[in-house]
Amino acid sequence: MTQSNEEILSAVAEIVADTLNVPVAAVVPGTRFAEDLDVDSLTMVELAVVLQDRFDLELSDDELKDLNTVQDVVEHITAHDGMAVGGAGESAVPA
């Protein structure tokens, strides 16, 4: 089931807000985890676990290090979602 970027952003913002106990309005695409939300590596792993469960994806340590902003997370999920349903990606699963 492919979700729009807006749906993914909304879900990510809610997860980030709930996990980090910040207002959802503070979570926008340009929000930086470390600089804006004071997220340390342990908290980022906790956030990743919730995101993995919600979006049915796996995040390697290397991928997690590359997720610096909310938009980075949305793009990663969008790419994963597109591949899972046979979308635009070289390794897409045939429908």
Catalytic machinery residues: 40
57 neighbors 77 (Cβ within 8 angstroms): yes
Q: State the Cα–Cα distance between residues 50 and 57, nearest whole angstrom.
A: 10
Cα 17 to chain centroid distance, Å, stands at: 13
- Residue 68 is classified by DSSP as -
